[in-house]
Amino acid sequence: MPQHRITIVHTGEEFGCDEEDNVLHAASDQLRRKDIPIGCCNGGCGVCKVRVTAGRYVTRKMSRAVCGQEEEASGCVLACKLYPRSDLTIEVVGKMVRAIVARRSTAFSFDFRATVQVVNPDKET
């Protein structure tokens, strides 16, 4: 089974991923740090969202609430539903960045006071 190299842009981290394996699973298996935040692993929650900046891939069904059509067209996909067909370069987007920052600062902010709707699948970056 062909294995492809996945490179995460802003950490420079690299790992291998089979065509039958999803990028989130491969990352969590091989990287010591959790460079891609792990949520539902099933395409529903959107925390694992990445933008593929280079390479070919296929995806399986992702919840439109967290990955809109336009977004998908611009290369944003859910890592747990992302299957490589060549080497890939990816960058973290959306809630993922927040999670990485949160791990560094240990405390993450709760945001309880906001009352506006911030979850906007097509605009979230």
Partner 1 sequence: MALTGVLRPGHVAIRVLEMAPALKHYKDILGLTEMGRDASDRVYLKAWDEHDHHSVVLREADEAGMDYMGWKVDSPATLKKLAADIERSGLATDTQWIPAGEHLHTGERFRFTVPTGHVMELYAEKDYVGNNCGTDGPNVNPDPWPDGLKGISPSRFDHCLLYGDDLDGTVKLFTEVLGFSLAEKVMTKADPDFMIGAFLTCSNKAHDVAFIRQPVKGKFHHASFELGSWEKVLHASDILSRTKTRIDIGPTRHGITRGETVYFFDPSGNRNEVFSGGYIHYPDKPAITWYDETLGPAIFYHDRELNEAFLSVFT
Residues that bind partner 1 (CB under 8 A): 37-45, 47, 61-66, 95, 98-99, 102-103, 108, 110-119
Q: With contacts defined by CB under 6 A, name the span among 13-21, 37-45, 53-61, 89-97 that binds ligand FES.
A: 37-45
Q: How far apart are CA 18 and CA 90, in angstroms?
A: 16
Report, in angstroms and rounded to the nearest whole number, the Rg of the chain calculated over CA atoms.
14
Q: How far apart are CA 23 and CA 83, in angstroms?
A: 6
44 binds ligand FES (CB under 6 A): yes
The nearest distance, CB 87 to partner 1, in angstroms, is: 27
Interface of this chain with ligand FES, residues 48 to 107, rule: CB under 6 A = 48, 78, 80
The nearest distance, CB 58 to partner 1, in angstroms, is: 16
- Residue 84: what residue type? P
Structure token digits, residue 125? 């970056």
Q: Are the C-beta atoms of 63 and 42 separated by less than 8 Å?
A: no
Site of interaction with ligand FES (CB under 6 A)? 24, 38-41, 43-48, 78, 80
